[in-house]
Amino acid sequence: MEELSVSSLDNSKLEAMAQDILSDLVEDACLGLCFEVHRAVKQGYFFLDDTDQESMRDFEIVDQPGLDVFGQVYNQWKNKECVCPNCNRSIAASRFAPHLEKCLGMGRNSSRIANRRIVTGNNTNNKSESDQEDNDDVNDNDWSYGAEKKAKKRKSDKNPNSPRRSKSFKHKSSTASKTNQDNEAHAPPKDSYIASSRPVGMMGPRRRLENQESPRMLMKDEAFSQ
């Protein structure tokens, strides 16, 4: 049986075969598009991208001074005031957040302030908004920690070992510590041991005999005096 191979074909047949494959691919692309369009038509979204020129004019972006993009009159100062949803007052935008906190009573001390305001509601109606806010600021104790700060004592005064002590104090303590060091120098060393009658092979700390004193090193002065 003969082998089927591309190499046996001449150039003309090879070209014809390539053309056939290309035409198949183009056919596939056309069919795919037809199916896609038909589906879009039946589903109802094929004509969605069609726009009418007259309707487009209605929705054009407006670029004129004094008007926003929708063509409506733009008031420059109107948006700088907000209406409180709780008390329905018109408040400057810069003061709206602090007012709302105190008005709704959601902050730390604001709930107490709000309750106080409810109790004394009749008196505050006569006052202006700014006066009320000033009053609230006085009552607001979030930032008043001056008294507490004064009441606290410095830890460094109590603790002599603190690294932040004054120089004079440091000097005094250094003289005192010198005398202690001198006394300790003449005292017998704590960890000195004498030879005991143990076997040589035994390792470990040698115990001090009961009657014997622990030997100590002689200082220079003592050595010369002897």
- Residue ranges that bind other proteins, judged by CB under 8 A: 2-7, 9, 13-15, 17-23, 25-35, 37-38, 41, 46
CB of 59 to other proteins, least distance (A): 23
- The least CB distance from residue 54 to other proteins, in Å, is 20
Q: How far is CA 36 from CA 29, 50, 53, 75, in A?
A: 11, 17, 27, 50
Residue 46 or 96 having the CB closest to other proteins = 46
Nearer to other proteins, 12 or 168 (CB): 12
- Smallest distance from other proteins to CB 74, Å: 39
Nearer to other proteins by Cβ, of 13 and 178: the residue is 13
> Please, which residue, 48 or 195, has the CB nearer to other proteins?
48
Q: Which residues contact 159 (CB under 8 A, 6 or more apart)?
A: 165
> Least CB distance from residue 67 to other proteins, whole Å?
36
Residue 72 identity: Q
| Helix (H) or strand (E) run with residue 100 in it | helix 96-104
Least distance in Å: CB of 95 to other proteins? 56
Gap between the Cα atoms of 143 and 140, Å rounded: 8
Is the CA virtual torsion 50, 53, 54, 59 positive or negative?
positive
Q: How far apart are CA 87 and CA 105, in angstroms?
A: 12
Smaller CB separation from other proteins, 17 or 83: 17
